[in-house]
Every structure is written in structure tokens, then in C-alpha cells.
């Protein structure tokens, strides 16, 4: 597909997700952490409201579905658990968009005349690079390579080549594979016998936080499931992590409960994207495409709630089959919204800032993970700190909030910056990253997922 023929909705969707990641949710979650350290902030802002908002920029402790209006996954009937934290949808959206792009990229390469072996080699190489990049990011703050694979890039890479092979099969085979993956994942967990020695406290799990289930759902408890057993076998086979003094760090399961085997059910998430990419490439009318996307999203969401109430809990951290369906409903609807706004309605120009980032999604992701702190400390604060404080102070004076803060004209800039610092710093760093992405866009340098 030529540049001018690219799907604006896909690039805008991808750019939107990258903006959220690169800006770390615009620091909203950081705004509500350690509230006692920022008393002035909560003299000005409504703390309960910001805490409610921040829920959507953090991962829940374990279960990912909620009754609307509640942020406690243990509250309410599971049949009414159809609400979700927005932050939990970021990684599914990542993987889903990879799938949407795959049939488009495959058609482009085929029309260009690339032989099948070359496309297969490209897919395998890309998969390996993504896995290694994921390991690299997890090793940034370690003394040596940290061989663990829950990072989103590693997870995409582990499943990418398998998704590519399924892309080459007929539609019936893809649909069969989708449900077979869900069934196989469920079976692995369901037949695994949780050992009597399972000690939740020893593996950073707590029943009070909803991370340890009773009854049949116990098979999906945090760090007490088949995926945890697999990591306990697999990860010690790699060279061990060492501390700064060169001592071997004893193996321990991921404190958040994220597992290597998540890549298997996440292939189904990528397949869901492949289905949608093939739909958007089809000759169906725009109206029919939108209706089918909406129907598919509704079916996935309903199936996820049904499975979450009967078969297995909806848990993003171990990518349960119910989570594949549940999150799939939301990300399909998100694609439908972006498709309506930027490929159907005449709003393509409004998508340009997001498109610039979406066409360099991998570059932006890596910059966000590796350089966001450097941008904040050595670019934003060093070179623009005084300007930001002056501008924020002037805005506060114009809005009449200076007296409410107990500030003076001399101190209002510093106090306003202190109140909004997480948001100001991350937004400012994002602007710097966008300018770099724009430079790459202007020079036709594209590094995408």
C-alpha cells in the first residue's frame, strides 16, 4: 500500500495509543500518588474526582472487569462486569493493531512482487527483533541481560510469526485457530492442579486485593497457575540476573503476575485484528463495514462477560480467554470509531498529529520507554522550566485561582507547576518526541510495529 493510500484510521488509532504510552497517561496516575506530599494540590483540585479518573490510567491489581461505577472487581454480580480500566486496553490495542496492519502489509508486499520466502523471512526477523527489543527494555536498569518476556514488544514478537502463518490460511482456518487458541489456553489452566504448597504471600499475591480466587477459579490465581509453573521451569534456563555486586539474584516470579505464556492467547487478539483488517480491505460498503465492526465488538464483549461469569475470570495480567473476548470488544469498537472519524467523515486533517506518531509507532514507543525521563530532566526542565513556570503562573492569575492557592505573584508559577508537575512534564516531553517524529515523517523515515 502506497503512503497516500494508507488507512488514516489505523495510523491515527496507533498514534493515539502511542501518545498515551509516550506521555505515560499524561501523568494523571502520578498526580494522585502520595497525596500527603502535595497538600496544596488538593486544596485546589477535587481529590476524589482525580482519584476516580486516575483509575483509568493504572492497571487494576488483578481482575480487569468491573461493575460500572465501581473500581472494585470483587463488587457486584459478574454478569454486570462490563466496565474496564482504559489503561488495561493499551496492550490489547497494541496487539490488535498489529493484526489489522498485517493483511494490509501483506497485500502491499505481494503487489510489489516480493516472493513468499522473502515475506516469511521478514516476518520471522521482525518477530525476533521485537522479542529482543522487549528483553532489552526490561534490562535497562539491570547489571546484565534480564531474560523475561512479559513486555508488550516481546509478547508481540513471540506470537508474530504464528499470526503471520495463520494470515496465509483460509478464513475458516483462521476462525478455527482463534477458538482453538482460546480453548487450549483455558484447558491448560483448568486441568493444572494448584500445588498444596502454594503460598500467596510468598509470591506477592493477596486474597484481599482479589488476586487469589476460591473454588474453580482458583486455577487463575496470581502466581499460582500453569503459566507461573511454566515460567518457574523456563526462565531459570536463561543466564541468571545479577545484582550490582555480581551476585546471582535468586529466581522469583513476576511480582505483577505477568507471564511468558501470555503470548499464546494474545495471538487470538492479533487474529481478531487480522479479521478486522481483512474486513476493511474488502469490497463491502462503508456502512456495512461499520455495522460489522460494531456487531463484532458487541459479540466479543458479550462473550467475554459470559465467559468471565462462568468459565474463567477476566484477567489482563495472564491474558485469560475471557479477557481476549472482553478486551477485543472494546478495541474493535475503538477501531470503528477511528474508522468513522478519519476514513469515512471528512476529518482526515484533524488526524495529522496522531498520524505522524502512528507512522513511527515503534520509534515513539522506544523513545518513551528509554528517553522520557531524560527529556523531562535535561530538555524540559533545564531549557524550558522557567518559561513553563511563568506561563503557568500567568494562566493561574488570569483564572483567578492565585488566592485560592495562597500564592503571590512571585510564587504562583512555582506553586502551579508543583500542582500539575506530572502532567506538565510528560506533556512537554511528548511535544519534544512529536517534533522528532515529525522530522522522521518529513524525511520518510518510518519505524512501525
Domain ranges of the chain: 3-58+360-442, 86-350
- Judged against a pLDDT cut of 80, whether residue 242 lies above it is answered with no
- Judged against a pLDDT cut of 70, whether residue 4 lies above it is answered with no
Give 2's pLDDT tier (boundaries 50, 70, 90).
very low
For residues 422 and 89, the model is more confident at 89
pLDDT one-digit tens code per residue, 159-190: 999 999 999 999 999 999 999 999 999 999 99
pLDDT one-digit tens code per residue, 329-386: 999 999 999 999 999 998 989 999 999 988 888 888 888 888 888 888 888 888 888 8
Determine the pLDDT at residue 35.
Answer: 61
Please tell me the distance from the alpha carbon of residue 325 to that of residue 304, in angstroms, as a whole number: 5
Average pLDDT over residues 139-160: 88
* Residue percentage of the chain with pLDDT more than 70: 96
Determine the pLDDT at residue 38.
Answer: 67
pLDDT one-digit tens code per residue, 400-416: 778 777 788 888 888 88
Determine the pLDDT at residue 3.
Answer: 39
Average pLDDT over residues 220-228: 96
Give 215's pLDDT tier (boundaries 50, 70, 90).
very high
- Judged against a pLDDT cut of 60, whether residue 264 lies above it is answered with yes
- Judged against a pLDDT cut of 60, whether residue 222 lies above it is answered with yes
Give 34's pLDDT tier (boundaries 50, 70, 90).
low
pLDDT one-digit tens code per residue, 45-81: 887 888 888 888 889 999 999 999 888 888 999 999 9
- Tell me the average pLDDT of the chain: 89
pLDDT one-digit tens code per residue, 37-46: 666 777 778 8
Contact of 276 with 99, CB cutoff 8 Å: yes
Determine the pLDDT at residue 285.
Answer: 94
Determine the pLDDT at residue 27.
Answer: 79
Amino acid at each position: 500500500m502506497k503512503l497516500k493510500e494508507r488507512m488514516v484510521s489505523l495510523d491515527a488509532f496507533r498514534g493515539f495509543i502511542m501518545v498515551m504510552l509516550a506521555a505515560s497517561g499524561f501523568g494523571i496516575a502520578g498526580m494522585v500518588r502520595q497525596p500527603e506530599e502535595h497538600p496544596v494540590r488538593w486544596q485546589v483540585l477535587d481529590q476524589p474526582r482525580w482519584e476516580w479518573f486516575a483509575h483509568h490510567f493504572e492497571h487494576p491489581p488483578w481482575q480487569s472487569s468491573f461493575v460500572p461505577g465501581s473500581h472494585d472487581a470483587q463488587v457486584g454480580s459478574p454478569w454486570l462486569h462490563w466496565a474496564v480500566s482504559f489503561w488495561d486496553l493499551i496492550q490489547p490495542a497494541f496487539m490488535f493493531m498489529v493484526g489489522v496492519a498485517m493483511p494490509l502489509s501483506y497485500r502491499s508486499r505481494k503487489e510489489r512482487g516480493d516472493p513468499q520466502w522473502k515475506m516469511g523471512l521478514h516476518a520471522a526477523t521482525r518477530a525476533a527483533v521485537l522479542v529482543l527489543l522487549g528483553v532489552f527494555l526490561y534490562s535497562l536498569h539491570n547489571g546484565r541481560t534480564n531474560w523475561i518476556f512479559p513486555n508488550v514488544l516481546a509478547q508481540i514478537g513471540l506470537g508474530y510469526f504464528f499470526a503471520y502463518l495463520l494470515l496465509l490460511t483460509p478464513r475458516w482456518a483462521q476462525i478455527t485457530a482463534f477458538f482453538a487458541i482460546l480453548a487450549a489456553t483455558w484447558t491448560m489452566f483448568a486441568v493444572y492442579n494448584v500445588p498444596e504448597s502454594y503460598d500467596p504471600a510468598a509470591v506477592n499475591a493477596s486474597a484481599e486485593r482479589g488476586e487469589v480466587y476460591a473454588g474453580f477459579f482458583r486455577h487463575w490465581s496470581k502466581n499460582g497457575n500453569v503459566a507461573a509453573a511454566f515460567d518457574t521451569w523456563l526462565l531459570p534456563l536463561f543466564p541468571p540476573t545479577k545484582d550490582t555486586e555480581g551476585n546471582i539474584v535468586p529466581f522469583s516470579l513476576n511480582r505483577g503476575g505477568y507471564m511468558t505464556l501470555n503470548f499464546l492467547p494474545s495471538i487470538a487478539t492479533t487474529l481478531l485484528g487480522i479479521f478486522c483488517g481483512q474486513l476493511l480491505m474488502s469490497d463491502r460498503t462503508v456502512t456495512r463495514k461499520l455495522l460489522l465492526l460494531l456487531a463484532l465488538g458487541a459479540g466479543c464483549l458479550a462473550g467475554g462477560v459470559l465467559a468471565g461469569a462462568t468459565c474463567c475470570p477476566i484477567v489482563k495480567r495472564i491474558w485469560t480467554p475471557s479477557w481476549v473476548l472482553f478486551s477485543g470488544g472494546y478495541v474493535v469498537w475503538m477501531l470503528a470509531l477511528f474508522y468513522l472519524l478519519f476514513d469515512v467523515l471528512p476529518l482526515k486533517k484533524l488526524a495529522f498529529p496522531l498520524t505522524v506518531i502512528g507512522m513511527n509507532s515503534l520509534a515513539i514507543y522506544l523513545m518513551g520507554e528509554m528517553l522520557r525521563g531524560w527529556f523531562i530532566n535535561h530538555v524540559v526542565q533545564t531549557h524550558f522550566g522557567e518559561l513553563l513556570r511563568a506561563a503557568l503562573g500567568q494562566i493561574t492569575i488570569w483564572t483567578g485561582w492565585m488566592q485560592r492557592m495562597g500564592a503571590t505573584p512571585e510564587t504562583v508559577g512555582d506553586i502551579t507547576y508543583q500542582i500539575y508537575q506530572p502532567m506538565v512534564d510528560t506533556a512537554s516531553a511528548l511535544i519534544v518526541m512529536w517534533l522528532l517524529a515529525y522530522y522522521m515523517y518529513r524525511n520518510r523515515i518510518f519505524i512501525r510495529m
